[in-house]
A and B are shown apart, each in its own frame.
Chain A
Amino acid sequence: MLHVSNLRKSYSEGSSERDVLTNLSFTINRGELVVLLGRSGSGKSTLLNMISGMDVPSSGSIAFQGTELTELSDTERTLFRRQHLGIIFQSFNLIPTLTVEENVLLPLELSETADIEQRKVAMDVLHEVGLGDRGSSFPDRLSGGEQQRVAIARALAHNPSLILADEPTGNLDLRTAETVMDILQRLVHDDRRTMLIATHDREIIRLADRVLELQAGRMEDVTPEMNGLGSNGERERTGD
């Protein structure tokens, strides 16, 4: 489904260039839940930004369902993102000027082509995250956990092919994080949706089909050992 090959991203620092990602190559298959581990500054967010089309690589290829993202313009990448991707952020990032319902419907509304059936599906997702009765509230009236559940509903509402999540439980307390995890398990893992989660949270690793780790800009598949580490059921954090 997603093929990343020889991906490189560097930033200029004065006259020299600093590589953040070096020759990354990996594949994510349909229905897989892949966890991306890495210390702060290892390039996890940069990689998600490039897969989402919000940023472009210095070289290499990102092919998603046969479409080469690096060959698209900014607007084309946006339209592609709107149609095929759902994104969950650490800070929830709901739009304060929109109600909960409007936030969930945002990607559909932006496409201006959403039909009644699609809207119904979106609202069903809101019900599934347990906030069906809060549709007319504004985000500032919700707790952190509720906001993240709305963010999950927004990411799933338009039934995207791939969901990208950047530390989805990073801003939540233990109990709330567990609730959010339950939802992710139910709506993503059990429904066999494709998802890439960048996280420090080892609890999430339990859900993973595969675990990738970014170290010094290079990717390594650490699935067997990480699954073993996470199997004791304790929530612990990696990195700093």
Chain B
Amino acid sequence: MALSILGVALGVAVVVGIDLANSSARTAFRLSTETVTGRATHAIVPGGGLLQDDTYRQLRTETGFRNAAPVLEGYTRAGAETGPVLQILGIDPLAEEPFRSYTGGPQGNLDLGAFMGPSLTGLISRSTADRLGIQSGASLALYREGKTSTIVILDVMDPEPGFSEASLTNLLIVDIATAQSLLNAPGQLSRIDLILNEDGRAAQLEKLDRVLPSGARIEPASTRSSTLDQMTQAFSLNLTAMSLLAMVVGMFLIYNTMTFSVVQRRSLIGRLRGIGVTAREISGLILAEAAVVGLIGSTIGMVSGIFLGHVLVDLVTRSINDLYFTVRIQELNLSWLGLGKGLLVGMGATVLAAFAPAREATRAIPSTVLRRSEDETRIETHGGLLRGIGFFLALLGALILWMSGSSIALSYVGILFIILAAALWIPSFANIGSRALRPLMGRFFGIVGRMAASGIHHSLSRSAVAIAALTVAVAATSGVGIMVDSFRTTVDTWLRYSLEADIYVSPPGMVFRRNDATIDTQVERQIRAMDGVAETYSVRTARVQIEGRMTDMVVTEPRNRELEPGRYKKRSSYDHREAMVSRDVIMVSEPYAFRYNTDVGDSLQVMTASGPRTFEVGAIYYDYASDLGVVQMARSRYETHFTDRYVSGLAIYAADGVDIDELIDNLKSATADGQGLLIRSNRSLRQASLDVFDQTFTVTAVLRLLTILVAFIGVLTALMALQLERARELSVLRANGMTPGQVQRMVTTQTGLMGLLSGLLSVPLGLLLAWLLIFVINQRSFGWTLQFDVDLMVLFQAVLLAVIAALLAGWIPGRSMSRMNATEALRFE
């Protein structure tokens, strides 16, 4: 019974843990958004880059609109490069009162002179101050884009009424001028917050429209909150699906353990039926017991899920920070909804899995309840039916996959049906496999080997469920493993041909895959002019509005070299690289084309500094850095249409005969006094990119491990049920001279064989799952083209994993069987 509870608890813990981690990330982002949005109803946002603060002045002077407040936002780190992330919120305290009350307005206690004065000052929350170990009046070092600044903390704040302490976590509130200095954005704003009255809103909007600079627009405050959901939807959904897989494997376990509990009380049920207890009453008893197991298991699972959530939230945060945006999650957001979902899944799965054993026990007539051979007869004769249902489910799964269009959730449902179909075929395969292996086992292990092989098909009702659970868990692990490996190989190949230069220079950014930090112009010039540098090409990452959506744009200087068709998914008939320099032609990444249904030859409206301009899509290129979609524009066109002249990175080609490491050392010492820059060789940047890739999949690895653990317990319970049922047989063997060591060897050989069968069956299922993950789930989630790269080692490891898991699970029952008192079992004669 303890094992059933453990099984349910593990499954629920994984589901709850992932749900809490996902929802905590969402809540943290929403809180930080709401906190900085305050009571604003709308905001003027730029079409791309930032707004000029003239817009704010114009707004107040020309329209007389008073309910407006300028904001400049960004991120920095406290202390050093690896310090905690702080969100900078630059505001004008004189305009703030209707929006946010952190500064207390002109009548507040804050020393506005000091806050708005020339020295860098700011406010942080009490909890953040405590965490950083500073007090009011202390200096705080800030590190951003390789530069360090020092700010004086004027005061510590408490949250506004109605907001939690968490809403202020890691928020650094500064005057707008201080923010412009810290974020290196002189005269610029992120947005202008507005409060528009409901009465006459249309007239107000019309009036405001007149002062809007080109490209800027007014959007409701609520728009910002939905950003995270849109960005991370596929990421979160895939994690949730993985967590549900653990629960599916857990259902095999629950089925097994509930069957075990029926087996344990087979004679009691038989006697109860004999004295007139009805089938319905027995069924109710077993289901009620399952509900209690489900309740206890789910409760333990929910508590464990909270602990697991603490571990997973770090991994999830790290992935989100690497891939999408900066979010700092201080605490796990315990939602009743998340815990309730765990309880529902746990209870539901337990009762569902217990339904079959309950029905089995009650359908049998009293005398057959006492004989397990009935189960074996039934499973043998029902083999065809199981295969038939399996075939039907496989067809249904394929149909769902085919019909589900772009729905990821439905695609997972399709995959679930295919997994269940495979599970229903497993008894037949296990039967054939163990019969086929019997002579071979006899040759190598003698009578013990033959008995081990026969033991599997003679106890198919137990062994097949254990084999199915282990097969599904191992197949899922190897399937995800092949998918991750394929992905990694694709990314590695892509990095090899994308990163051609010898050295890459960039300032440290907050988001690895979207570094829009800038290199100081002076430093850039210094690097370009250094000895040993043959050629340099700049890269700029910017956010621009394309087709009304804020989009990441990479601005590059096309290098004069051979066209490599392998880089492009689709190209126009003309030389798009030449066209990108001479006219308004851009390239879009594969995920962009997928997300926004864009094709070569389409026109996209890009909001430039001089207003909207139409660009033609010249090519769709492979890009694995962002699943959100990126657009590439030539530097010359960018400089024609935008005022930004900064660069985010430099690619350097060393002169012939120059030692790369030596050049890196020279570059580092030449720039040591200025901005702290990341100067990396081709190889180390590639490695860093792959490290981030691997880190992103750490959470997947944790989930795979937990799934295997659930399956491991499944095998353990199946073996314990077998032990109970085989007590007499083992006693006879002991009576006929089988030593305890031979008993242990027989059980170990049998479990090893079960593991081997699971491992071998997991290979085709794992390959199928990998294929579905790569060509269906990945395609529908992100739109990437991935190579299907099967490393034979992964498959070998899967088989080995299954064998080892089974052997470990068999060790305890084997030991206990070998120590069993043979006379006890024979006493039942």
Contacts and interface: CB of A to CB of B under 8 A. Distances in A.
A111 B447 CA distance: 10
B826 A110 contact: no
B61 interface: no
B829 interface: yes
A152 to B, nearest CB: 13
User: What is the interface of chain B mostly: helix, strand, loop, or mixed?
Assistant: helix
Interface in B804-829: 821-823, 826-827, 829
A83 B823 contact: no
B575 to A, nearest CB: 73
Contacts of B728: 93
Nearest to B377: A140
Contacts of A98: 447, 450-451, 454
A95 B454 CA distance: 10
B451 A81 contact: no
A91 B826 CA distance: 10
A78 interface: yes
Interface in A70-93: 74-75, 78-79, 81-83, 87, 89-91, 93
A154 B450 CA distance: 18
Counting contact residues on chain A (CB < 8 A from B), the size range is 20 to 34
Contacts of B823: 49, 54-55
Contact of A52 (B455, B735, B829): B735
B130 interface: no
Interface in B714-767: 728-729, 732-742
A75 to B, nearest CB: 5
B283 to A, nearest CB: 29
A93 B822 CA distance: 13
B447 A45 contact: no
Nearest to B735: A87
A107 interface: yes
A107 B732 CA distance: 11
B451 A89 contact: no
A106 B447 contact: yes
B217 interface: no
A234 interface: no
B446 interface: yes
A166 interface: yes
A130 interface: no
Contacts of A94: 732
Contacts of A154: 736
B571 interface: no
Nearest to A109: B447
A130 B444 CA distance: 31
A78 B827 contact: no
A45 B736 contact: no
A163 B740 CA distance: 22
B458 interface: yes
B741 A75 contact: yes
Given A96-B729, A97-B455, A78 B737 contact: yes
Contacts of A87: 735-736
A112 interface: yes
Nearest to B738: A110
Given A98-B447, A110-B447, A89 B736 contact: no
A105 B451 CA distance: 13
A49 B829 CA distance: 13
B734 A54 contact: yes
A95 B451 contact: yes
A83 B739 CA distance: 12
A32 interface: no
Interface in A100-119: 102, 105-107, 109-112
A73 B728 CA distance: 22
Given A54-B822, A89-B826, A79 B447 contact: no
Given A54-B735, A91-B829, A109-B447, A75 B740 contact: yes
B737 A111 contact: yes
B746 to A, nearest CB: 10
Interface in A19-35: none
Nearest to B442: A102
A148 B248 CA distance: 46
- Which of A55, A89, A95 gathers most chain B CB within 10 Å? A95
Contacts, number: 83
A56 to B, nearest CB: 10
Nearest to A80: B737
Nearest to A55: B823
Contacts of A96: 458, 729
Contacts of A89: 732, 735, 826, 829
Contacts of A81: 735-737
Contacts of A110: 447, 736-739, 742
Given A45-B827, A54-B823, A112-B446, A106 B739 contact: no
B740 A74 contact: yes
A107 B458 contact: no
A223 to B, nearest CB: 27
A97 B458 contact: yes
A105 B739 CA distance: 16
A98 B736 CA distance: 14
B737 A93 contact: no
B732 A95 contact: yes
A221 B451 CA distance: 43
B280 to A, nearest CB: 33
A78 B451 contact: no
B740 A106 contact: no
Contacts of B736: 81-82, 87, 106-107, 110, 154
A90 B829 contact: yes
B11 to A, nearest CB: 33
A93 B827 CA distance: 13
A55 B373 CA distance: 29
B447 A102 contact: yes
Nearest to A103: B736
B368 to A, nearest CB: 15
A173 B737 CA distance: 30
Contact of A97 (B454, B735, B740): B454
A32 B734 CA distance: 26
A111 B446 CA distance: 11
Given A97-B451, A98-B454, A82 B732 contact: no
Which one of B447, B736, B741 has the highest number of Cβ atoms from chain A below 10 Å of its Cβ? B736
Most buried by B among A55, A90, A154: A55
Q: Pick from A83, A105, A109 the residue with the most CB of B within 10 Å.
A: A109
Contacts of A55: 821, 823
A91 B731 CA distance: 13
B737 A82 contact: yes
A61 to B, nearest CB: 19
Contacts of B733: 95, 106
A224 to B, nearest CB: 31
A11 to B, nearest CB: 11
A154 B735 CA distance: 12
Nearest to A83: B737
Contacts of B735: 52, 54, 81, 87, 89, 93
A111 B451 CA distance: 15
Given A89-B829, A97-B458, A102-B447, A79 B732 contact: no
B450 A102 contact: yes
Contacts of A166: 829
8 contacts: A89-B732, A90-B829, A96-B729, A97-B455, A97-B729, A110-B736, A110-B738, A154-B736
Interface of A: 45, 49, 52, 54-55, 74-75, 78-79, 81-83, 87, 89-91, 93-98, 102, 105-107, 109-112, 140, 154, 166-167
Smallest CB-CB A-B distances: 9 pairs: A82-B737, A97-B454, A109-B447, A93-B732, A49-B823, A78-B739, A55-B823, A97-B458, A54-B822
Interface of B: 373, 446-447, 450-451, 454-455, 458, 728-729, 732-742, 821-823, 826-827, 829
Given A98-B451, A109-B447, 15 more contacts: A45-B826, A45-B827, A54-B734, A54-B735, A78-B734, A82-B738, A89-B829, A90-B829, A93-B728, A93-B826, A98-B454, A102-B447, A105-B447, A106-B447, A111-B737
